């Protein structure tokens, strides 16, 4: 069959081509909804398998659903994409013909079998960063051209798009073993997961992975990618599954437990106590007791007097609050680990049952807590653990966690301005916080266009 000649594209429609706005394609006819397209590159390529000569195997076409802009309003459109396939002619001595059959690779679709364009997939992903798939479909209904409701793909199809998008991002980056790691767990309303961060000296803390489950198998699978011998330290939180698994893989001398995570355990246990003890009172009263000592200095004199009256009338509340505030200060101010031991020794029997997890973790992790205290912790008031924890809470509070892939995308790939390539080494925690805050404030859709 003869090689296709450039004259095939003599009927290029400049106005429709500009409207289409895909660098790899030219519009050769149609209208704003049905756009006939071809690649302007009609040269016969060498074989993708062996590099040998090829011949034109025929002209084919497929219909792809795309998203275009009409007067700044997005709508679905159908691309009638015409393309050529090629067959290899190379004959290898002693073997049968290569005979490979292929078509040229293009970038406006994610695969040869795709039914929608990459631009359509990106729009799904862009919206899914901020809302549930139900809301994504609701938003994209406005893109439907009357009579073409099937152009809007289903939620299961959107889930596949998201999964493929994240896998493509993962595949394009090269994992570099850091000198030190942070591994913090988070319990969301949907799932438990582990945020992994790189804490190279003199560099910003960067999130490099999100493990969508807290299991021994998942932790081992991740650490198998790490050069354990070159790892100087690994900091974990108080989660016993994470701690025991890491301790079994990494020399214990390199394992540290973040004291700020113990402060979170302390607060959670005291919250259970205070909400039960003061269940007849307004929520804001209970929150007064949960606030750290630094925050207590900012409350009004009226609220401070109310707290004193409640403690005066309830000895159990007074003892529990005194124990809570005492340890909270020790942990927040990064005091010597020996003072933590002293705190535990003066607990009465009632408080021991109130802070059972806190005291248990202190006993189990005492060496790792001390090691963290001796040199790994940040400056006072600069808690990486709290920063990542609050980041997780924001994402869970403002954006529905529909799938593991969506959550990983939000944590790892929210910065649309940066391409994911071999130079990608994670996302700076402070940069991600700024992006998430922007998403919450404005929806982020205008400033995060791809």
- Hey, how many other C-beta atoms are within 10 angstroms of the C-beta on 127? 20
Beta strands 54-70 and 73-88 are antiparallel
pLDDT exceeds cutoff 90 at 256: yes
Position 179 confidence tier, pLDDT thresholds 50, 70, 90: confident
**For range 366-386, the mean pLDDT:** 75
Note whether 61 and 81 are within 8 A (CB): yes
HEC string of 198-215 equals ECCCCCCCEEEEEECCCC
pLDDT exceeds cutoff 70 at 447: no
DSSP code of 3? P
Higher pLDDT pick, 381 / 171: 171
**For range 241-256, the mean pLDDT:** 95
- Hey, how many other C-beta atoms are within 10 angstroms of the C-beta on 290? 16
**For range 400-409, the mean pLDDT:** 81
pLDDT exceeds cutoff 50 at 10: yes
At 146 the three-state DSSP class reads coil
Matching residue, tokens 């792809």: 64
Per the DSSP assignment, residues forming a β-bridge with 428 are: 206
What is the tens place of the pLDDT at every residue in 101-140? Answer: 999 989 899 888 899 999 999 899 888 888 888 989 999 9
What is the tens place of the pLDDT at every residue in 215-225? Answer: 999 999 999 98
What is the tens place of the pLDDT at every residue in 195-237? Answer: 999 987 677 889 999 999 999 999 999 999 888 888 899 999 9
What is the tens place of the pLDDT at every residue in 276-332? Answer: 999 888 888 888 888 876 677 778 888 889 888 999 999 989 999 989 988 888 888
Beta strands 180-187 and 54-70 are unpaired
Matching residue, tokens 């925050």: 295
**For range 368-389, the mean pLDDT:** 76
Note whether 188 and 411 are within 8 A (CB): no
């Amino acid at each position: 069959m003869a090689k296709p000649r450039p004259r095939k594209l003599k009927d290029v429609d400049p106005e429709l081509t500009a409207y289409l706005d895909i660098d790899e394609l030219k519009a050769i006819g149609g209208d704003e909804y049905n756009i006939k397209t071809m690649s302007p590159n009609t040269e016969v390529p060498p074989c993708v398998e062996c590099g040998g000569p090829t011949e034109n195997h025929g002209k084919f076409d497929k219909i792809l659903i795309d998203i275009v802009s009409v007067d700044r309003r997005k709508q679905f459109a159908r691309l009638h994409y015409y393309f050529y396939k090629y067959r290899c002619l190379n004959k290898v001595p002693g073997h049968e013909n290569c005979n490979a059959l292929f078509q040229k690779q293009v970038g406006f679709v994610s695969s040869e079998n795709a039914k929608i364009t990459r631009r359509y997939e990106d729009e799904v992903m862009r919206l899914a960063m901020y809302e549930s798939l139900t809301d994504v479909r609701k938003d994209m209904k406005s893109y439907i051209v009357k009579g073409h409701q099937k152009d809007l793909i289903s939620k299961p199809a959107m889930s596949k798009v998201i999964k493929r998008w994240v896998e493509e991002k993962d595949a394009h980056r090269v994992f570099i073993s850091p000198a030190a790691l942070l591994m913090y767990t988070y319990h969301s309303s949907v799932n438990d997961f582990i945020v992994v961060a790189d804490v190279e000296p003199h560099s910003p803390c960067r999130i490099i992975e999100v493990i969508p489950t807290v299991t021994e198998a998942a932790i081992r699978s991740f650490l198998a990618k790490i050069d354990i011998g070159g790892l100087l330290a690994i900091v974990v939180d108080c989660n016993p599954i994470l701690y025991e698994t890491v301790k079994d893989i990494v020399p214990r001398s390199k394992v540290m437990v973040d004291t700020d995570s113990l402060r979170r355990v302390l607060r959670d246990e005291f919250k259970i106590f205070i909400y039960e003890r003061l269940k007849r009172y307004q929520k804001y009263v209970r929150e007064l007791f949960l606030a750290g000592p630094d925050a207590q200095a900012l409350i009004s004199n009226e609220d401070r007097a109310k707290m004193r009256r409640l403690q005066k009338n309830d000895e159990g509340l007074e003892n529990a609050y005194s124990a809570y505030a005492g340890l909270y200060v020790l942990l927040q101010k990064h005091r010597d680990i020996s003072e933590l031991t002293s705190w535990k020794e003066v607990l009465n029997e009632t408080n021991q049952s109130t802070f059972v997890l806190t005291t248990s973790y202190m006993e189990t992790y005492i060496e790792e807590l001390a090691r963290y205290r001796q040199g790994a912790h940040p400056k006072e008031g600069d808690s990486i653990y709290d920063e990542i924890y609050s980041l997780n809470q924001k994402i869970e509070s403002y954006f529905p966690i529909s799938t593991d892939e969506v959550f990983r995308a939000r944590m790892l790939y929210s910065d649309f301005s940066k391409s994911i390539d071999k130079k990608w080494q994670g996302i700076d925690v402070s940069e991600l916080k700024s992006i998430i805050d922007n998403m919450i404030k404005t929806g982020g859709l205008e400033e995060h266009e791809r």
